[in-house]
Amino acid sequence: MSATGTYRAVQVAASGALELTERPLADPGRGQVRLRVEACGICHTDAGAVHPHPATEPGIVPGHEVVGIIDALGEGVTRWSVGERVGVGFLGGHCGQCASCRRGDFVNCQDQDRTGLTIDGGYAEYMVARETGLVAIPAEMTSVAAAPLLCAGITTFNALLKGAPEPGDLVAIQGIGGLGHLALQYADRMGLRVAAIARGTAKEGLSTELGADHYIDSAATDPGDELAKLGGASVIVTTVASGASSSSLIAGLADRGRLVVVGASSEPVTVSTGDLIGRGIAVLGSLTGTPIENERGLAFAHAQGVKALIEERPLADAAAAFDRMLSGEARFRMVLVP
């Protein structure tokens, strides 16, 4: 924060480009806290906020893998204190009153903002967040290391848990990128046999280092057939944004296996009634997790040595870092450090 009460932020310009700007520092409202941002990951979902808008609108500040220090509390906040280090993920905080919240389904809260998409996010020196969306960060974990785990981490960690594999089961991870390289590590640390699926052989060595027991080149072989030869996977987590590619993996599931989709695509995933009824397989999706689940994921990552491969950039380089993420050249998570 400068002496004039402003802070730097990267917002979406009317043209759709990312631009560095200064904004007046705002006090948190009721039920909110203000964070001094220490790190913010760049996620592919951020692209949903980067598009042209009327010049009369203030541009959104992207970013939903945010770690920072609380420096101000809004009215009614009692759970958190100034000076605590916390994170904010894609879900901006549940309301606690809607039908979904009353059922305990906080992920599908009907009055929940999406950080960096519907409210300003963490490509900034400061941000304001709803207290119900805050995640406690382990003291032993750096802010840069924790940031990508608040989205890419919890997304893949929860997907594996929803698949409900048992120790020693074969689990497959499709797509070894920003999500997949973390999913490999989680699966390995859970005591599972792990198959990595990617196009080409460029990521074979890295996949083995991260915990894969098998590597399947989807450009050279049919992944479903290869998984079937290995006995079938009890769980397949697909991180790629392709319904057709995900559908082709169903043949590689063991009976009563689960295909868990985390890569969003407009294409449908197709499955036969024979697979659903005769083999008892299931196809389901998984969207991030609650703050308490995020804390559980961070604790597991710290205890088991799960770490994102990170490229750090200063806030002023946000546009270039975003482009590098979008191009697929990042290895594997870009993190802004204001």
- Bridge partners of 9? 21, 124
Token pair, residue 208, equals 């083995």
User: Does position 100 have pLDDT exceeding 90, yes or no?
Assistant: yes
Average pLDDT for 176-202: 97
pLDDT at residue number 1: 42
- How much is the pTM? 0.96
Provide the pLDDT confidence category of residue 3 given band limits of 50, 70 and 90.
Answer: very low
User: Does position 188 have pLDDT exceeding 60, yes or no?
Assistant: yes
Question: The sheet that has 282-285: what strands, in order across it?
Answer: 214-217, 193-198, 170-174, 233-238, 253-261, 282-285
| Residues 229-243: tens digit of each pLDDT | 999 999 999 999 999
User: Does position 11 have pLDDT exceeding 50, yes or no?
Assistant: yes
pLDDT at residue number 57: 87
Token pair, residue 22, equals 């200064």
Closest CA to 101 of 288, 285, 284, 290: 290
User: Does position 194 have pLDDT exceeding 50, yes or no?
Assistant: yes
Average pLDDT in the chain: 96
Which residue, chain included where needed, has tokens 């999500």?
A: 179
User: Does position 2 have pLDDT exceeding 60, yes or no?
Assistant: no
Q: Answer with the residue of higher pLDDT: 54 or 203.
A: 203
All domains in the chain, ordered by first residue? 6-149+289-337 (3.90.180.10), 153-285 (3.40.50.720)
pLDDT at residue number 94: 97
Average pLDDT for 28-44: 98
- 327 vs 175: CA distance, rounded Å: 15
pLDDT at residue number 10: 98
3-class SS of residue 137: coil
